[in-house]
Amino acid sequence: MQFSASQIAMIVQGKIEGNANASVTSFGKIEEAVSGQLSFLANPKYEDYLYNTHASIIIINASLELKHPVNATLIRVADAYSAFATLMAKYQELEAQQLIGVQHPSFIAPTAIIGKNVFIGAFAYISEKVQIGNNTKIHPSAIIGDSVKIGDNTIIHAGVKIYNDSIIGNHVIIHAGTVIGSDGFGFAPQADKTYKKVPQLGNVIVEDFVEIGANTTIDRATMGSTIIRRGVKLDNLVQIAHNVDIGANTVIAAQTGISGSTKIGAYVMIGGQAGVAGHISIADGSKINGKSGVTKTIKEPNKSFNGFPAVDFSTSMRINATSRNLPEMEKRIKELENIVQQLLSDRS
């Protein structure tokens, strides 16, 4: 696909400096781009590449003052990074529109309801009473369980498994290998020290504009629903347990685990390898640093937490600073003990 500078400027609402008819067919990093590619500059550390890159069109921040002449056509926008992301999304959307139809072999149950302009890849399995919305793409080897509902303009990548009764919204992206709706980890201890499985009868609800990374797992609720609310972004290898409720526009990085029945507020940011205990709540706007362990409810919104067990960020920094001084403090305490002992001996 080919785009001209004028078309790009219209999409990102930018101002052109240079040849409005310059065209590109692909994207490239500013330090590696070749003629015919589109690039962007958002990080000042890469500004030197702006003056010798071979990219044909470059998106830059409106506030950037040029130090040298630039050969490429420039498009100035308020936020170059966001504008570039918008263009890449548009490109991806246009590519996806070309995927239409059903590849074979694949299985579609006779009771399934399939919308318009849907793509179903080879070896996909669409079970009974499934509903798939318009323009949705189901890639090869995906398995969609009984009575699953999938909205419009959603992408289910290869090898995704969506268990029975799950509900997936509009404009959702689920990456390869993810499992939605597997049983929650519920086992009742018995008198003989064995464990009796507690049936998991609920479902998973994924609202609109959610993106879920590869090999992430989201367990179905014991009763009711595990809910991933609008705009949530989950990284690869995230574990969401049964009956968890994740608030709108929260982002969670890789290898994080959220235990059962925990409620996470809106606009929360959780770093990689963090752990959250079960049956607690995390307030809106909280920031949990990577590798932190949250063991208690966080009630006050918009605060940062760090460490295990997680405490507010400033306290964590003081603890870390103090711990580095422990060897010297131990030495001083021993010296003081010796002085006290000497004073006691002198008095006797």
Residues annotated catalytic, as ranges: 242
- 62-70: which pairs have CB atoms within 8 A and are 24 or more residues apart? 62/15, 70/18
Q: Provide the β-strand partners of residue 180.
A: 162, 218
- CA-CA distance, 167 to 114, in Å (whole number)? 15
Q: State residue 126 phi and psi, 5-degree precision.
A: -110, 110
- 3-class SS of residue 204: strand
Q: Where are the alpha helices (DSSP H) in 62-122?
A: 80-97
CA atoms within 13 A on the CB side of 293: 4
Residue 206 three-state SS: strand
Backbone angles phi, psi at 127, to 5 degrees: -80, -175
Burial class (CB in 10 A: 0-12, 13-18, 19+), 151: buried
For 203, the 3-state DSSP assignment is strand
User: Do 98 and 119 contact (CB within 8 A), yes or no?
Assistant: no
Closest CA to 123 of 139, 112, 135: 139
What is the dihedral angle through the alpha carbons of 328, 333, 338, 342, rounded to the nearest 10 degrees?
A: 130
Q: Give the strand pairing for 23-24 and 3-4.
A: antiparallel
